[in-house]
Structure 1
Amino acid sequence: MKKVLLACIVPFLIIVAAQAQSEVEKKVKQKIWGQAPAEFNATQVPEKWKNESAVLLAYHREYICDFATKVGIGAQRYYVETLNIHFRIKLQDKAAVGDFSDISFDNKSITTNLFGRASSYRILGIKVIKPDGSQKEVDLKDAVKADAGSGDDLKIPIPNLAEGDIIDYFIALKTEGLAMPDFGDEDLMEAKYPVVKQTITFMVPHQMELYSTSYNGAPGFKKVVKDNDVIYTLQDEMREKAPQILWDYPYRSAPHIRYRVRKEDMKPDVTKTAKEYLNYFSTYPTDIGVIVDYMDVNFKKEKDVKKLIEEFFYLVRNPIYKEALFEIKQGEPLNSNNPPDKFFFLVDHFCKKYKIPHTVLLAPARSYGPFEELVSLGSCDFVVRIDTDPVMYIARPTPFRLPDEIPYSLEGTDAFSVYSSKGNTIRVSKDDQNATLTNITAALDASDNTKLQIKRNVSAKGYSKTYHQYLVVTDFDYLKEYDQPKYQVERSRLLHGLIKEYNEEKTKFGQRVTQDYTARDTRMKEELEEEMEIKVSDYKNLTVKSSGMWHANPSVEYTDEFTAENLTKRAGPNIIVELGRLIEKQTQIKDDQKNRTRNIYQDFARSFDHTIAFTIPAGYTVEGLENFNKKTESAAGGFVSTATSDGKTVTIKIRKHYAENYYAAADWPKLNAFLQAAVDLYSAKLLLKKA
């Protein structure tokens, strides 16, 4: 009998829940679509934006916080937060239609409390307005599972879109909690498309306050008190789209606001929050038993601090110990997650255990600016400074990071320690520390002089090596690098199982190594064709001489060979050889970017050196060496190339370098000058003249 009752009740609950969802959705849609500000009725774009791909006619972001009381065993006060984000965008060309042909979003969900009233929800609504004024709401039942790794739950197709259509859509969220909201964020005024009018509104109880700062010409909030609520409103009109420029950090250069919502009498102080975070290190319990076991077996008598730190870092970067310490699975080690903040607690406890002087630092990312401008710690990361002479830095391990390598996003920033907010500037690397060196030998194919036979030796270090490492090192190669007796310490049942798993993973990747190496060759071939704008055939003999993942050999280095089919062409009895393309495509500044008012933020200083040795075929002489002699240098960097010939070989030596990771806008012409010299050399040709 009980089973029958349950079978009857469950469908009833599902029906009631569906009805509750429908009522909530209707109310939300009526509020957002039915009571929208006047700008959400707009259908025409300003004349000056008629040729833009799309125009955001209206945007409204509304945050509302209020109190409510729940009656249970006793009355309990809690906070209800609502966030509505509303867009109205007109599509003006096929590219925009393609961009909005589907929209990805988190799966809408509504939960109801005992009274049948929505207590939390996430709702999305989409409608399309045609040029004749007709409207149609998109049925969310057509949603499909989003692509793997997209970060979204569902993807909703928008059918029958056409140029001239308007998409009006919103996302509504509601939640509740016992703690007073306390959060900060940043909002850019510029977007991918121009914005006719955008409004940001915060409505909070009088016990709370919005603290905000406007940067780079962004407008500010206006404050109005209404009964027991305070309303903050920011309005911005006729905002041009974000410029498409090189080397830009929008949160350093673009109009934007930074704000924090919190208790009325608590002005934001990020340094105070940072100190609270750092104080956790003195009390947070962390078990380093498996690390101590490893050190006892392999380095019990070691006293050299540098050696101890290096061995600790390599151990924690090891896939076996990443799983033991952080539960990060060993499969696909090059695509695994980086260790969480627990890593820094391990560093701290390890240093204390082995009496290594150190300081835990919290550093802000260059892209967001110094601590005093931050509204949250979301852009920050920990770094541990080993206080030796010279100092070493320990950063969060990535698959190829070495001890004493710092994320370039933190270079030059003033970090915070529990002891001081001053004197903790993170060092900045030089261009030669992030160098790429390429040696190329090239010769005409003996059987077909329309083809060029090329051999390369490439090495890279510092921040420049990561790109190459992910090109040439496979998961199997990576696991083999850790196939060392010292990492096979089985001092616990846990390690016994994980070492067994490591060996199984290595065997699995070893069985498919031919397949993976073939895929790697294909990847390299496609990369060469893209970067040199050539047709590659017979790519072969890729040999990785160093993975660059140990301090004994910190550079990645590899050799390969291939045939380029379209770098030569006949000119009567003579042959033109486009040797310049062997330095790969160069950064070209478009005409509309040659005048710049925003400062230049590059990831890091770096240098590129090429040596090209071209064998002159018998019966030919060389003309056009002057095309390869260029020199443009300044304090910003430079491009220098020289070409010589001894009658048998043409030797071209090329160096390009960016001296800094930051330049003032006034230095832009200096960069332009040597960037153009590099573009010119990429197009340079050599003439082989029949003797």
Structure 2
Amino acid sequence: MNKKLLILLLSFYCVITNAQNSAEIKEMFWGANDEYKKATTIPEKWKNESAVVIYKNENYDYHKFGTNVTYISSVRKRVKLLDQAAVTEFSEFSFKERFYSSRGVGFTFRKAENTIGIKVIKPDGSEREIDVKAEAVNMDEGKKIAISNLEVGDIIDFYFYAEEPFKSIYEYGFEPVETSLGDEYPVMNMKITFKTENDFFVNFNSYNGAPELKQTSDPKSKNRSYELVATDIEKNDFPRWFFPLAEVPCYKFQVFFARSGKFEERASAFLPEKESIVKKTVSADDVLDFYDARFWPQGDISEIKNFVKNRDFKSDEEMVREVYYYTRHQYYTRYVEAFVVKEANIMYPFDLYGYAPVFFTNEIQFINHFMAFLKWKDINYEIVVATPRYNGSIKDLLIEKNTIIMIKANTANPVYLQFFSPYTNADQINPYIENTEAYALQAAKGKVVNGIKTIQLPSSTHKDNISKEKIYASMAADFSSVNVKRESEHYGHNKDQDQDDKMYFFDYVAEDYAKYGTTPLLELVRSKKKKEQYTNEFDALKNKLRDKQKEEFEKSLEGELGFEVDDHKLEIVNTGRFGKNTAFSYKEDFTVKNNLLKSAGSNYVFEIGKLIGQQVEIDEKEQKRTNNIYFPYPRSFEETIEFTVPDGYTVAGLDKLNKKVENSTGGFVSTATLNGNKLTVKAYKYYANYFTPNSNWKDMLAFLDAAYQFTQEKVLIKKI
């Protein structure tokens, strides 16, 4: 079965089933009341599709008795297979038969199993039910079952059923569900059903033309039921660079359990006024009411005061930025080594930091503490509440987990500050909320009380988010390989992922210790004997991690370039952690054997274009696009290749390396010049926008194709 579909189903339905036996469950789906048991035909318009979903049914049931809560979920699909690709897609299922429930508070983990049913209906109407228990085979992470004799024209009908009982005496939020109405195949009929009762609060809404959820129970009953019904749903292609929830018919919901008003107030959700109301929208006032009670200037800022008083800042902006970086270390990176040694069972380290050390774990802790600092310095500020573009507009906010919260210090030039990772920079906000509307909670005398407004968040350009690489390439003396030295600099959002990929904790914690004069973890150990023991164990762990890091770097580089490399070495030059305009930079050395270079008599063909890395190749299926194009942020890539031509040789074919395609969507420009024995090739590629309408797809294709064709170009190293 398709891995993507499988993961979706199993992440959704891998929960406990105890209360109903398998016969009762099968009757629920395939029994006398199954109105689709005879459905075998599909519309003529979909006869050339790979498969058609005749019926898709999802069920959600939330009930409680005393401290016991029961959550039931299920999905059923009846799919007609119209080509061999679909047969292959559904010829294998993988699943977890047994697992543990982790819901609730103070609840002992329970071992249990899923209930799964699969049957195949042949074109003549004959049915074959799969004996899942007998035919499934054990795998490393669960079980797998192969569906034999599956053929084009067959119908496969399957269900996953899960019942999960747990205990909760407080409040509990079930994971949100946000999904498009359409499937990767057309859907003829779809039904979603909800059942809830008192103490269960439902946020549910449909978007972009999806049908509404309708109540099917008596409004006065404490047992409530709802359903959403849709028919004739076209398939979704889900192409690259697409945010489905921003554009296609979809629905979002979350259910929150809260036993009383006290727990309702603590719930991390925009709850409806009462359980009988399904909340469809979240207003600006709802946002203000929710966060007003959660944000308050609080925390011991004595360490920050000591940091500030010993320094002379040129402006409030500089002070805010420097305090942000100090806060990142004081309440985050200072403890990274401690978490590492604890995880490795080397020692329990936290007692070394004194009584109740403070380590920030979430946005609210960070913001409240930083508010206390801003209040102390009498700097005006706002709390920004945003949602990523892939969720749609802030006006369509429904689920609290979809918010990103920042603090905005209103200095002469405002400074935006987000909850930190080891790499976050002041002034640099999450790329997915750049250039969007957001809510700003106004602060008055240090408390969020006096209102809320809509603001436009800053944007960045492809020139802000740039990667620059200088590549020095030369041939080995015997022409058996190409030696490469690469110097990389990444700026703006282009450094975010690269920092996370290429740095381990030992690449930055020492930098912070040195910058702020704090004491490394093992220096806090007083016992000389213990200190020596822990140091040896910690050094061994770091050496092991460095070996792993080296292996990961090499694999990452090979994935980037598309061919194998040898003897890879990497040196971090600048971590890029203290300013959005500071580069994350590093140097690499590696050798390329059995690639890039091919002999042609006394000459050599050099695939120099591949040194800029693999480029997007748009296949025939993607050439025509109906969906709009969404990017995380504008960005650019600048490559300079300097190739030393071997003595006694010259270079031919440079004209093919000169390309220029630029338009409103982006561009690719490359040039090649030869000066003595130095061949210099420059390539510059950029994506200009956050969003491009599908009407401009042909313009994007033009520069994407130019970049891809560049990687296919070769030059001839010609004997003089």
Q: What TM-score range do you get, normalising by the shorter chain?
A: 0.7 to 0.9
Aligned length: 641
**Cross-structure match for 1:296:** 306
CA deviation map 1:29-64 (0-9, x unaligned): 543453663225657877887887766443212345
Identify if the C-alpha distance between structure 1 residues 463 and 301 changes in structure 2 by more than 3 Å, giving closer, same or farther: closer
CA deviation map 1:166-195 (0-9, x unaligned): 462223447798999999854311234443
Matches within 5 A, 1:537-548: 537-540=566-569, 542-548=570-576
Choose from 557, 563, 577 the match for 2:591: 563
Contact 1:457 1:557 survives alignment (8 Å): yes
Choose from 172, 194, 200 the match for 1:202: 194
- Counterpart code for 1:666: S
**Cross-structure match for 1:34:** 31
Superposed displacement of residue 243, structure 1: 0.9
- Counterpart code for 2:505: D
Matches within 5 A, 1:535-614: 535-540=564-569, 542-551=570-579, 554-565=582-593, 566-614=595-643
Equivalent-residue separation in structure 2 for 1:604 and 1:105 (angstroms): 42
**Cross-structure match for 1:463:** 493
Equivalent-residue separation in structure 1 for 2:580 and 2:252 (angstroms): 45
**Cross-structure match for 2:89:** 96
Q: Which moved more, 1:100-109 or 1:557-566?
A: 100-109
**Cross-structure match for 1:16:** none
Choose from 471, 475, 491 the match for 1:440: 471
Name the SS for the 1:39 alignment partner.
coil
CA deviation map 1:470-508 (0-9, x unaligned): 343223223322232735279xx9x96899999998875
Superposed displacement of residue 352, structure 1: 1.8
**Cross-structure match for 1:306:** 317
- Counterpart code for 2:160: F
Superposed displacement of residue 444, structure 1: 1.6
Equivalent-residue separation in structure 2 for 1:85 and 1:400 (angstroms): 41
Check if 1:278 corresponds to 2:291: yes
Q: Which moved more, 1:344-353 or 1:133-142?
A: 133-142
CA deviation map 1:198-241 (0-9, x unaligned): 21123567999988654344334456565856754333345344
Check if 1:253 corresponds to 2:263: no
Contact 1:122 1:172 survives alignment (8 Å): no
Choose from 669, 672, 676 the match for 2:698: 669
Equivalent-residue separation in structure 2 for 1:109 and 1:613 (angstroms): 56
Contact 1:339 1:396 survives alignment (8 Å): yes
- Counterpart code for 2:463: D
**Cross-structure match for 2:677:** 648
**Cross-structure match for 1:219:** 211
Name the SS for the 1:158 alignment partner.
strand
Equivalent-residue separation in structure 2 for 1:220 and 1:504 (angstroms): 64
Superposed displacement of residue 142, structure 1: 8.6
Equivalent-residue separation in structure 2 for 1:498 and 1:400 (angstroms): 31
**Cross-structure match for 2:265:** none
- Counterpart code for 2:323: F
- Counterpart code for 2:95: D
Name the SS for the 1:187 alignment partner.
strand
Superposed displacement of residue 287, structure 1: 2.8
**Cross-structure match for 1:158:** 145
Choose from 441, 448, 460 the match for 1:429: 460
Choose from 267, 271, 287 the match for 2:299: 287
Equivalent-residue separation in structure 2 for 1:502 and 1:483 (angstroms): 18
Superposed displacement of residue 564, structure 1: 1.4
Superposed displacement of residue 388, structure 1: 0.7
Q: Which moved more, 1:672-681 or 1:418-427?
A: 418-427
Choose from 56, 60, 67 the match for 2:57: 60
CA deviation map 1:253-296 (0-9, x unaligned): 22213468854567643423311232124557x432xx423542
Equivalent-residue separation in structure 1 for 2:101 and 2:199 (angstroms): 32
Equivalent-residue separation in structure 1 for 2:288 and 2:458 (angstroms): 22
Contact 1:103 1:158 survives alignment (8 Å): no
Q: Percent identity?
A: 26
Equivalent-residue separation in structure 2 for 1:329 and 1:517 (angstroms): 14
Structure 1: gaps of 5 or more residues: 1-19, 71-75, 112-119, 148-154
Choose from 502, 506, 509 the match for 1:472: 502
Name the SS for the 2:227 alignment partner.
strand
What TM-score results when the alignment is normalised by the length of structure 1? 0.79
Superposed displacement of residue 468, structure 1: 2.5
Equivalent-residue separation in structure 1 for 2:76 and 2:187 (angstroms): 13
Check if 1:239 corresponds to 2:233: yes
Equivalent-residue separation in structure 1 for 2:35 and 2:532 (angstroms): 65
Name the SS for the 2:392 alignment partner.
coil
Equivalent-residue separation in structure 1 for 2:49 and 2:422 (angstroms): 42
Choose from 628, 632, 648 the match for 1:619: 648
- Counterpart code for 1:128: I
Contact 2:661 2:668 survives alignment (8 Å): yes
Identify if the C-alpha distance between structure 1 residues 127 and 201 changes in structure 2 by more than 3 Å, giving closer, same or farther: closer
Name the SS for the 2:509 alignment partner.
helix
Superposed displacement of residue 340, structure 1: 4.9
**Cross-structure match for 1:169:** 159
Equivalent-residue separation in structure 1 for 2:471 and 2:57 (angstroms): 56
Contact 2:206 2:252 survives alignment (8 Å): yes
Superposed displacement of residue 407, structure 1: 0.9
Structure 2: gaps of 5 or more residues: 1-16, 105-109, 256-271, 345-358, 443-450
CA RMSD of aligned residues (A): 4.5
Matches within 5 A, 1:350-361: 350-361=373-384
Matches within 5 A, 1:120-139: 124-130=114-120, 133-139=127-133
Identify if the C-alpha distance between structure 1 residues 366 and 465 changes in structure 2 by more than 3 Å, giving closer, same or farther: same
Equivalent-residue separation in structure 1 for 2:291 and 2:134 (angstroms): 46
Equivalent-residue separation in structure 1 for 2:299 and 2:591 (angstroms): 55
Name the SS for the 1:632 alignment partner.
strand
